[in-house]
Amino acid sequence: MRRFVIGITGASGVIYGVRLLQVLREMPDVQTHLVLSRAARETLVLETEWAPEAVEALADRAYDPDDLAAPIASGSVPTDGMAIVPCSMKTLSAVAHSFAHNLIVRAA
């Protein structure tokens, strides 16, 4: 079983993150771990017809973005990769500078 972490931030284009989850869900050997930022939740409601809960249901496991003790926050938990789709400039900057203030950045 391959394990992927998906982060969805509040940048425009949240539908790309939703679509990625849909595609990965069709792959029987893939397990997905999702983190939706607070801004992503707002953007989903504003830009799509998707409810945040429906997007979370596409993943095998969903985490609170403030849960820095989640298993995916640890480097000792094996994953096969992570995608942040879309990735806001704030999140990109935080990842680049290791400013791990939320689970998306910490997991990256």
- Percentage of the residues of the chain whose pLDDT score is greater than 90: 92
Give exposure, 27-57, as e/b (b: 16+ Cβ within 10 Å): eeeebbbbbbbebbbebbeeeeeeebeebbe
* Number of domains, the chain: 1
Cα separation, 102 vs 99, whole angstroms: 9
Helix (H, G, I), strand (E, B) or coil at 56: helix
pLDDT in tens, 4-51: 999 999 988 999 999 999 999 999 999 999 999 999 999 999 999 999
Residue 85 domain boundaries: 2-107
Instruction: Write the CATH number for 37.
Output: 3.40.50.1950
Band the pLDDT of 65: cuts 50, 70, 90: very high
Q: Is the pTM of this model over 0.85?
A: yes
